[in-house]
Structure 1
Amino acid sequence: MMSELLQMMKGKTQSDQAQVNYAKMGEFAGTYFNYTTEFLGPNSWIIDSGATAHMCANLKLMNRLKPYIAESSVALPDGTKKHVTHCGSVTLSPDVTLKAVLYMPSFKCNLLSVSKLSSLSHITILFSSDHCVMQDQRTKRTIAVGRLVGNLYVLDDFSFNQDVIKKYSLNKDIECCLNARINDVDLWHKRLGHTPVLVLRHANVISDNACELGVCSVCPLAKQQRLPFLSSETYSENVFNLIHVDIWGPYNQFSVSGCTYMLTVVDDCSRATWVFLMKHKSQTVTLLENFYQMVLTQFDRKIKTVRTDNGLEFVSEKCQLFLQNHGILHHKTCVYSPQQNGVVERKHKHLLQVARALMFQACLPSQFWTEAILTATYIINRLPTSVFWKTPYEVLYNRSVDYSMVRTFGCLAFATNVLPQKSKFTKRAYRCVFVGYAFGQKGYKLYDLDDKVLFVSRDVVFHEGIFPYKNTPDSSNEFPFPVAVRDEDSTSNQTTSVPIHDSAPINSVDSPHHSSLHNFNPLPEDNSSVPVLRRSSRQGTKPCWMNDFVCSSSHDVDGSPKVASITPSHYAVMTVISTLQEPKSYLEANNSPEWRLAMQVEINALEANQTWEITPLPPDKMPIGCRWVFKLKLKADGSIDRYKARLVAKGYNQIEGIDYNESFSPVAKSVTVRLFFAIAAASNWHIHQMDVNNAFLHGYLEEEIYMSPPDGYCLPPGHVCRLKRSLYGLKQASRQWNQEFTTQIVAFGFIQSKHDYCLFTKKSGDSFLVLLLYVDDILVAGTSAELITEVKNYLDRVFTIKDLGVAKYFLGLEVARSPQGIVVTQTKYIKDIVTDTGLANARDATTPLPPGIKFTGSAGAKLPHPDVYRLLIGRLLYLNFTRPDTSYACQQLSQYLQILANNI
């Protein structure tokens, strides 16, 4: 058989029949096939799963030919070798290109290697009984179909015909989709989510030579991004030609001076920085006016251009008028483009980095953040910048910086007491913390650790390795209260602490406290004569933020009030309240005739309602117990309204499946209540309220429950009370009452809602009624007052109700009606929460949660009473009914009901 094959390769055959039909088979490269070169033609390819490389005998089919340098011959199965002269590629179709194809002139056929094709492309070949399919692995698209010629699969010119491909496609639905306008770039661009053409080419859904995509109107709307912000390489030639201005804040921590904002000014030429502390943004324009005058006076220059963002304080009419009057150009950034004012934005970052380092180093309380910012500004102005590698101080004043006065922020310092001494043993220095450099004075800013005051002194001894607050526990939260300013400009011998809110220039718009570059030198130039400093005789006033603190009192708060100072009516009320006591047990209540009468009234009501029947206890039953609960009902003036005794079953002794099966009872949803009031207000309906007396006693029991007789209720021996109706304390009491109410109200013509089982509606002619039930509280609203009265009369006959008239107070909701609508509030509920938590005298908060607060979870000490926290969260959740602004705070705090720590 092998010899026969070799003869066919040489153009010889054993019979003429093979010239017309198929040649007989031989073995070549592990494949059995019938073959005649004349029949297949020079462009046909034999698909060979055993060939290790593509082999071609037709030079006209090959592209990119280059001499073959490697092993120059291929061994055949009979042991002979064929010489390889070149290597190149062959394009079978726009989708199939064979690479690394060997050209052998003496070879008589073309072989396509399956392994080489799969490894060098995303093409796979699937074989069947009469044909094979060449398919793209990624798109599952059929590329070509091979025919079975004898026993071998062959690719020829018909293999890539689209009609043939459609006939033999493996998945005609996929092929139909993929082949539709295959070269339509716009179509594929839309199909695949407006994918770029380059990606489409890599996905092989369009050909490499497909035309480029035209203008797509959708892509800019969906994908357009901001242009990159190129770094500026231009700088102002002269100082104050251009200044960058911005506001930082508000910070969530008030400084010792009450400031929360800072106005930052940066000169573009020198990078000199000025920081002005502010309490309010409204001070901005005044500070800019003062800064302009300072530049004009101190540097004999005029500001030419100001660059800011679009803050309201900069685009206000007052600011624009100031700039126009002085001929100053105002450059504003584009909306949401802070990068255009990047000089001052980066300066804020630099200032905060240095200030944080100073605060962490000194461990100062956070209230001193403004002092750290001012000190950071002082330091940065005296350090070289990357613009000229000179310090801003040098550029402005044309002289080098003297670092001899610089000291470590937050270190221990002792300031000399220069006041006339009362005694020879009076302390000669104040123990202080260094908190910065004074502006306009040749001295250091210090904070007295003993007197809790800020002051400036020139006679200071520093201990730069000691930080007083570093060893103070939890110094970050410590507020050195109060903070004041020591004024030593008076000849008075008395020490007076003036609050910083009234006297410190930080809060003065006319002389703002700021850090600048002026000639500061805390070391005296001449020590020969030191003038005696005087002390101020001005009296300090209490700062406004201390108005809600009781700092002193003219009365003795430790002693008890005198009886003579109390009015008779007040004394009578106090006497009644102090003597009122509710019994804790039956034995205690039985000693009072009032409580005995109250118990008898309750028993009579239960018997009249046929709540139980007296019967012997069956031997296989276990009775549940009961107990008395006593409550005093008081009037608004504190006097006694009535004595209330209620018999309560011990439902915790009930056994599920025997004494009860289900205990769930629906109540009106909060959204239903809101909608009820909204529709009633919009339709101007009448709203009335009712309360059912002893609601739980109206439900009928389905289970067989026996109860021991209550204390004071005499029964024959071995007899108990078999409950026919529900009783307070039973697990199913609420459910049975709800079922009984539903039965009775539906019988009156109401329809129960399928979305809220406690919502009932009734239509009678042109009138419409809506009834809402929440346990035993009822709201009814509608267009007809007469129908509302009929509902009241019917419910009173069935259950005995208390008519409360027009709705005013429902489930803690205060309802007020006006011509404009209905107002629903929870004022009393809020006051009760505030009172119960001991926060009645606390200051109001601007937001439910402090801005920027971060919860740490379980870190910190555990709460001593976690149940109190959970109870408070539950009460706040109910407050969301009328205060949706607290919803986010409640949601955040509710995440820690199981992980309770002091610093959540």
Structure 2
Amino acid sequence: GEVRGGSWVVRLHTIQDIAALVKGAPEVDPVAAHAHHCLGHVNEKVLKSAAMSGLIPGLPKVLGDIGFCSACAQGKLASTPHSRLCPQERAKRAMELIHIDVFGPERMKDPKALGDFKYGLIFVDDFTKHVWVKLLKSKSESIKFIKAFCLQASTRLPNLPISRVRSDGALEFKTAELHAFWLSRGVTHEVTPRYSPQSNGVAERNIRTMTEMTRTMLIAAKLPTFFWPAAVETAVRIKNRVTASGLKEGKTPHEMLFGTAPIEAFRPFGCVAWAQNATTERHGKFDPKSRPCVYLGPAFRGASRLWDPAKGKEIIEHSVVFDEHGDASKLLRPSPETTSGPTINVPPPAAPEPRPATQHVAHPRPPPAQPPFALVRAMREVLEKNAVPGDVQEAARRIAGGGPVSPTTLATLTTRLQEQTNEIRQQRAREQAPEGVGQGGESVESAEEGLVGQGIRDGDGAEAMEREDRDVTGKGGRDQGERRSGRIAGKEPSFGMLEGGRKRKEPGDACFAVLEPEDVGYDDPRTVSEALRRPDRDAWLAAMNVEIRSHKARGTWRIVKHRGQNLVTSKWVLRLKKNADGSIQKYKARLVARGFTQIEGVDFDETFAPTSRLQNMRLLLANAVALNMDVHQIDYETAYLNAKLQNEIYMEPPEAMDLLGEEIAPDDALQLNLALYGLKQSGHEWHRVLREALKTLGFDQCKVDPTMFVREEGSPAMLLVYVDDILVAAPKGGGIESVKKELLGLFKGTDLGPAHHCLGIRINRNWDEDTITLDQERYAKEVLARFGMSDCNPARTPMDQKTSLRKAADGEARADKREYQAIVGCLAYLAQGTRPDLAYAVSTLGRYGSDPTETHRTAANRVLRYLKRTSSAKLTFGGSRDGNVNLEGFVDSDWAADRDDRRSTSGFVFTVGGGAVSWGSRKQGAVALSTAEAEYVAAGVAGREALMLSGVLKASGQDIGTVTVHCDNQAAIQLVKNPGSHHDRSKHIDIAHHWIRDKTQEGAFAFRYIPTDINPADAFTKPLGQVKHYQHAQAIGMALAAGAWRPPGLEGDLKQ
């Protein structure tokens, strides 16, 4: 009972109730059941405890059974505990049962980690408890690494075959490819039930152990999660070398599996490790012999994995001294006084306020504490020239001494140096330039083009970021801003500052050249909402307002009421236009249409727009140098908007129109009048308008190449059009200036002066030697940097003569397909542009892009290593000064070269002015029965290319007559010249190949014999040794090594 108001209150129970309580009868207590429902189906034990404590007024302290509750069964059913494996299910020997699973860190602060890894694949031997972990960039890599693990296990442990593999039901473990692999290996695949990780408890428990060890190691070392892949691998290595529960006392998994006790000393993960500096990195006798790094665990016997903060990458070093009590996180953690931040930001002159460093969203990597040695050396040079302003000399001396510097100090120093450099250049310009710059003049500041930012992030408006608002000093002046000449490659690579040109170097330039653009710039916002969240939102709104006003002034659209028409959507493309030093020059906003929202037959009909071929660009340049013509370049601004649309197209009002002060009603739409960038037919309409306009000036369109226009009457000229970029070849002096004036009278554009860059290719005209040289050095270095090969060991040739590639075999380790295809794609652009020496290697690697193996990836890496050695290679035309345009061809084949299908390889190259203008290396479509047949088929391939090239030259007014094609097979030459010869060897050849005979008899071709040793086409059919490779490259106008180029002299060899 209880006391209430001074009296005892006693609750009486009947004898039946007491008997029921004593006996524990399973009767349902309606009071308890009702209370259970009223209290949100609280647990019965909790309900009775609360009643006993008197926490619920009016409820008896002693409650009966609530009975079965169906609602609780549906809402609260817990998983039934899984029983442990039966003894007979346990492995009886090592490697009998392997548990596998995939794990991936969730809720990571860093979007990427060391090595770009996102997942881990774990293998656990049930008997020995030995663990293996393979890091993955995507779950799709699981299959190849599972197969590789099984193959490596069978090689290293041949007496311990894998009998069973247990995994959950994840899709990556249930593919047909993996199922076929298990069958071929005689392995039983055990799949656990769905939603029951306990059934795969061995793998799950080890994943938990690895995760906990990794987390603890990172916390203890004060390192960011960026390093979790290295921590996981170190944790696995440690776990295999310490005792484990379930094993014999004192035994480790490593000893149980391999029979030997591991003897290995471990250092604290993340401690300070001093790595020895290579002698090539020590530029002075008294420079430090080591540098501090972060220890990431052992690599192999005697070597250590380290993170080098100065270089921002992982390295493996042998000569290392450890400071086990040192705090390596200080090498990475930014500090206002002692360390540099993750980015180096220069305050933009046009921005309303400086952008904080935390806005930088580039690939996350720990920042260096000390400035890079290149910056140290550059700062020393500037100090020696007494070119540092007095207010920042102390900071400059600190950098020159290798000391740390804060990001604010570095930004201030960079800005002051830039200001001083600009003042010097402006002063020199005022001293040297006349009061007025005449026609064709250039200011002192006229320079090689500046850094080009990243391209548009989706393909809808890839051509929308046209150039405008350039600083032009005169009619012949060049623009100082970015250019879109890298359009064909997706983007022009941003790799430091350009060399050469007319830019005069100033004292501060050495410092700017060693700062990467990403370190001194800002990122382009992907969306309008992202731009409006930034500190410089007002600058972006202003840029968008300029774009809208420009369209309104042009009459790009008119506002109408939406009456059910299909509405095309639009997108804002926002980019920062930067100066050569990385500082912001201008905020640019471009409105583009999303062409994929158009409907064929309603919004568009014709979409074809011709695109210039690189062969014809090289042919035009070679033709120009042979005829002593000058080559200039003009750019039409907002070219597509010069074309009126033939279809009625309606577009949704762009985003943020209300913020720009435009009054748009909910039912308003924009009827487009002009070809807005991004529309499917914009390119077609622009080319139609341009063709009609050029026709009024007397230019005739070339029938072979619709992007080439020629005028023979009046002021003769040749034009090559690539969208809005136009190469103009015309006689020097007044001739070319007159042609440019006519072209710029058609549409608003910019005179870029002498051609220097086109389609991502650098053009250099040497009037003294009468040559034109092409190269892609900047893009080559960008490719090497993209794939981490900037510091690789250079190779002397693209491919190894002793290596013969084949298709992937069953069980062979696969390479990352996307990365392999990306490498081949980048190399292909080089091979198509100025690097014929890469043609055969790229053609061969491209055959295996659908299923590359590690062997193929090694071969691709070798090409990159060769590119490292020859990144400055150049292709040269001219130098003969004879004024003749001689088109000459070379053809070869490699019979039955492909080991998989025994098809032959055709190779050809055509030269004009001693330089290669067209080349190719491709596998033949059918098996050839003899060398003569293979050479005969290759001759047909070369003949088709010769017809195209000769057609272009004839359209430009050059009558070249018969084209000489050199072949190193006498039997093939006889088959071309004499159809009846070798009848038994040629009667089966497809009639499609015999057209070459008719053209030869008509006089279009003349086939001549050339010895194999001096046939440059040999390099397009097979890998060669270093001597022959370089010899053939020189024969087609290539200079692979630094040095002066001289015209190849094949005539003497041919006469011999």
Pick the TM interval, shorter chain: 0.3 to 0.5
Return the TM-score normalized by structure 2.
0.32
When normalised by structure 1's length, the TM-score is 0.37
Please say which structure displays the higher CA radius of gyration: 1
Looking at secondary structure, tell me which structure has more strand per residue. Answer: 1
The structure, 1 or 2, with the larger RCO (C-alpha pairs under 8 Å, 6+ apart) is: 2
